[in-house]
Amino acid sequence: MYKKLRKQRPLLTPDVIITSVGTEIAYGNSMVLDDNWVEIMNNKWNRRIVEEETKKFPELTLQSETEQMPFKVSFHVDKSKVKEVTKELYQRLEKRGLEIKIIFSGGIALDVLPQSGGKGQALAYLLKKLKIEGKLPVNTLACGDSGNDTELFTIPNVYGVMVSNAQEELLEWHAENAKDNSNIIHASERCAGGIIQAIGHFKLGPNLSPRDVSDFLKCKADNVNPSHEAVKFFLFYERWRRGEVEKCEIYTTSLKASCHPAGVFVHPSGSEKSLRDTIDELGKYHGDKKDKKFRVWTDQVLATDTTPGTWIVKLDKWEQTGDERKCCTTTVKFTSKENEGFVWENVQQTWSEESEVKDDSNWII
C-alpha cells in the first residue's frame, strides 16, 4: 500500500518501515521483511483460530481485504460494545492457546494481533537491534494521532508528540497515564506541523523545513549543512519555475557566486555545461510551470565528508508536472571555507530506474 501511495504523492523512501499496527517491519527501498520479527509474531498465534472465534461476535464487522494482514485481523465495532467484546474475545482465544492483543482506535477500528505485536513493541525491538549493530539513533521522536499509537509513548528514552488533531482515545490515554511526562507533548499544530513543532520543542534539530524558507538568501547565511544546501536549491528551483519567487538578478547572482568558476553540470543525457552557464539558462524558465501542478522534491539525501572541507551529497531528485514524473540520481561535490559557506564544484545527474518518463526535452537541472 505504501509503494502504491508513493506513486501518487511525493513521499520519501524510509530506511525502515513499521506497518500493520506494528506487526510488520521491513527495510530499504525494496522493503525486505525482518524474518526474526516474523518468527516473534508467529509465537502462539493462529490466524485461522482468530477468524473462527471472531465470527461468533455479531458486533464485529470485518474491514476491507486490504486491511487484513498475516498477523492482523481488523474489524469495525461500535464504541459502546468494545469493552464487552474485548473481554470475552480475550477469554475465548486464551482457552484456545493463543496469546493476543486487542487494540481499539479511531473510535471504530478494532485490531487483533499477536501479544508481542504493536507499534511500541516493534519500536522497542528495532531500537534494541540498532543498538546491537552500533546504529542507535541519537534521538527518537514518536508521533501519533490515534489509540494504536499509545504504546509508542511508553518506550523509554523516546520523545513523543500527539498532534493537535489526535483522536479522543489517545488524549484520554495520555490524561490517565502520561500527563506528567515532560517527554510527551500535545502539539498545537496539526499533522506534520505538530511534528515539526515537537522537533523544535525538544531541540532535536531545525524546526523550519527547507520548504518553509521564505528568504533563500538569508537562509544561506545561517546554513551549515551541505545536504540542506542541496535540498534548498531544488526547492528554490521549484518556486522559480512556478513563478513564486521574484525574477530578480540578486538571486541568480548569488547562485552563480556559489558555483566554482570551473564547475561543471552533467545533464542526465550525458551532455556537460558550465555550472554558471546553467544558472544563466535557468533565468529563461522563470514562471514557465505556473499553474501546471509542478512539484520538485528530494529523497534519500546522504552527505559524506570525503576529505576536510570537501563533501559529496547524493540524492534522488524528483520532478512532476501533472501526472508525468521524472527522477534522477544527483551527486553534488561541495567544498567549504570557514565563514564563506559552500561552493558547488560539480553536479552530475543520471536517470533513476524509478523514473517513469525519460524524455529530457524539458529537463533543465
Per-residue confidence band for 281, with pLDDT thresholds at 50, 70 and 90: very high
Residues 220 and 336 in one domain: yes
For 101, residues 6+ apart whose C-beta sits below 8 A from its C-beta are 112, 113, 114, 115, 117, 118
| Closest-CA residue to 328 (of 356, 309, 294, 351) | 351
For 84, residues 6+ apart whose C-beta sits below 8 A from its C-beta are 59
Per-residue pLDDT for 329 more than 60? yes
pLDDT at site 217: 65
pLDDT tens readout for residues 172-182:
999 999 989 99
Per-residue pLDDT for 336 more than 90? no
Whether 364 is covered by a domain: the verdict is no
Residues 222 and 246 in one domain: yes
Whether 128 is covered by a domain: the verdict is no
Per-residue pLDDT for 220 more than 60? no
Segment 146-160 shows an average pLDDT of 94
Q: Percentage of the chain with pLDDT > 90?
A: 74
Residues 71 and 148 in one domain: no
pLDDT at site 356: 60
Per-residue confidence band for 247, with pLDDT thresholds at 50, 70 and 90: confident
Per-residue pLDDT for 219 more than 70? no
Among candidate residues 98, 114, 130, the one where a domain is terminated: 114
Whether 360 is covered by a domain: the verdict is no
C-beta separation of 195 from 212 below 8 A: no
Per-residue pLDDT for 40 more than 80? yes
The mean of the pLDDT values for the chain is 91
Q: How many Å apart are CA 84 and CA 102, to the nearest integer?
A: 12
Whether 359 is covered by a domain: the verdict is no
Segment 98-121 shows an average pLDDT of 95
Whether 361 is covered by a domain: the verdict is no
Q: Percentage of the chain with pLDDT > 70?
A: 95
Residues 158 and 27 in one domain: no
Domain range for 61: 2-114
| CATH code, domain carrying 194 | 3.40.50.1000
Among candidate residues 201, 234, 256, the one where a domain is terminated: 201
The C-alpha angle 126, 302, 155, rounded to 5 degrees, equals: 20
Phi, psi of 59 (to 5 degrees): -70, -20
| CATH code, domain carrying 274 | 3.10.450.50
Q: How many Å apart are CA 38 and CA 23, to the nearest integer?
A: 8
Per-residue pLDDT for 254 more than 80? yes
Residues 300 and 218 in one domain: yes
Per-residue confidence band for 216, with pLDDT thresholds at 50, 70 and 90: low
Whether 124 is covered by a domain: the verdict is no
Residues 234 and 328 in one domain: yes
Whether 284 is covered by a domain: the verdict is yes
Residues 214 and 194 in one domain: no
| CATH code, domain carrying 42 | 3.90.1070.10
Segment 301-308 shows an average pLDDT of 93
Per-residue confidence band for 209, with pLDDT thresholds at 50, 70 and 90: confident
Residues 187 and 302 in one domain: no
Number of domains in the chain: 3
User: Half-sphere exposure (CA, 13 Å, Cβ side) for 327?
Assistant: 14
pLDDT at site 362: 61
pLDDT at site 221: 45
Residues 303 and 170 in one domain: no
Residues 226 and 336 in one domain: yes
Whether 46 is covered by a domain: the verdict is yes
Residues 153 and 280 in one domain: no
Residues 56 and 160 in one domain: no
Segment 11-39 shows an average pLDDT of 93
Segment 127-147 shows an average pLDDT of 95
234: left (phi > 0), else alpha (psi -120 to 50), else beta?
alpha
